[in-house]
Chains A and B, each alone.
Chain A
């Protein structure tokens, strides 16, 4: 079973970082957390409007960034939301969206610690 958050890639990247550079992993995490908020907001709007296309687009974008940082649980949920949107409806998306918001809140402290641990 996959861990909800897998930091393998980010930690490997941090080990490679040049010592004279600002912490790039912290920049990635900051960008990820900010963008996740925006994508979730777009998902909420899509679900409220019953807009399957917007749901698919926002979920696809979220799937990409969660995969990049190893937020596996979010990635899985985003992928399922994308499939719902691609099927041309939004049924069941509201529940999954709630799970996604909860997954972000669970992942946030892990990323916050990673960001702080330079």
Chain B
């Protein structure tokens, strides 16, 4: 008797065409096809997110995949298609929320295109980043996104001959390498302009060192200071894109180190990024001063950290999620057209005014 709902107790035979030993081994694509009532090629097309498969058959395959706990054999797939469907991402600093938010955008666009993301860190060190890059190349990722890279242009060019590369927050130009960045010159300008409008003139900067984008931010700061007639007050403290870098840079500014050529402390500080701004806030508090009464502070990136109520950092906004999405889209585009001209997307920054800036009181 055939099993029907009218005869619920009738013996249900094993799914048709299902191999007898299926229970003793991991399920295969053939098992999924048998249970879903479709061919092996339909299963394969559903797993590739082929839109031409009808909704009912797609549903059947997905239910069977879930019920059987089927995991596609990624190695077999990559051998057949000559793609791993993995993209590598190297972020310069996993401690910086900016990169976490960039990764959200990358992961979202990658998932939509059926790609997995392998993430590693350069740990703010070009040598470490170089090893990470080599690892991703050996893993045969289909493309690599470098976020905040400290690698030399020559190293990036060399890698781009093996695999598509997209750069985030970098103005580097190389054939076949796409870049996505915010206009950091303008971003730093906006920070200075805001402080000038509040009445500040002794506006210093804590530098980002060798970090990607820091040269542009330094340039924007300098250009704005000159434009507003404050060239004589230009003061750039050494630092990097870390909390420690921001703290030490600010300490030297407040202490009037010899290199600052002045004993008068600044009334406002532009930090190279939000992490450095947090370090600056710490240094200012350690010096017994108050923000913004004694010193105003502007960060850069507008990470989630800046928006925390107890931080409430005035900062330059970068659309992190969008940057991540655009980087992944650039990689996918280049996978389709490897010989296409390099594309350089420059996004507009904007200023987010919170509670760490106010008119000077000195």
A residues touching B (Cβ–Cβ < 8 Å)? 3, 5-9, 11-13, 15-18, 21, 24-25, 27-28, 31-32, 34-35, 61, 64-65, 67-70, 110, 113-114, 117
A68 / chain B contacts, CB cutoff of 8 Å: 36-38, 56-57, 60
Contact of B3 with A11 in the complex, beta carbons under 8 Å:
yes
CA distance A3 to B38 in the complex (A): 19
Can you list 15 A-B contacts with CB-CB less than 8 angstroms, sorted by A residue number? A5-B4, A8-B12, A8-B13, A8-B15, A28-B56, A31-B56, A31-B59, A35-B55, A35-B56, A65-B57, A68-B36, A69-B37, A69-B56, A69-B60, A113-B5
CA distance A27 to B36 in the complex (A): 13
Minimal Cβ-Cβ distance residue in B for A109:
B5
A interface secondary structure, majority: helix
Residue from A16, A27, A35 in contact with B54 in the complex, judged by beta carbons closer than 8 Å:
A35
Minimal Cβ-Cβ distance residue in B for A32:
B56
CA distance A110 to B7 in the complex (A): 12
A110 / chain B contacts, CB cutoff of 8 Å: 4-5
Residue from B2, B8, B42, B59 in contact with A28 in the complex, judged by beta carbons closer than 8 Å:
B59
Contact of B56 with A65 in the complex, beta carbons under 8 Å:
yes
Minimal Cβ-Cβ distance residue in B for A9:
B37
CA distance A28 to B67 in the complex (A): 13
* Tally of A-B Cβ pairs under 8 angstroms: 90
Contact of B2 with A18 in the complex, beta carbons under 8 Å:
no
B residues touching A (Cβ–Cβ < 8 Å)? 2-5, 8, 12-16, 35-38, 42, 54-57, 59-60, 62-64, 66-68
Contact of A12 with B15 in the complex, beta carbons under 8 Å:
yes
A116 CB to nearest B CB, Å: 9
Contact of B59 with A27 in the complex, beta carbons under 8 Å:
yes
Minimal Cβ-Cβ distance residue in B for A67:
B37
Contact of B15 with A9 in the complex, beta carbons under 8 Å:
yes
Minimal Cβ-Cβ distance residue in A for B61:
A68
A69 / chain B contacts, CB cutoff of 8 Å: 37, 56, 60
A9 CB to nearest B CB, Å: 5
Minimal Cβ-Cβ distance residue in B for A112:
B5
Q: Give the most central of A7, A24, A61: most B CB within 10 Å.
A: A24
Contact of A114 with B56 in the complex, beta carbons under 8 Å:
no
B60 / chain A contacts, CB cutoff of 8 Å: 13, 28, 68-69
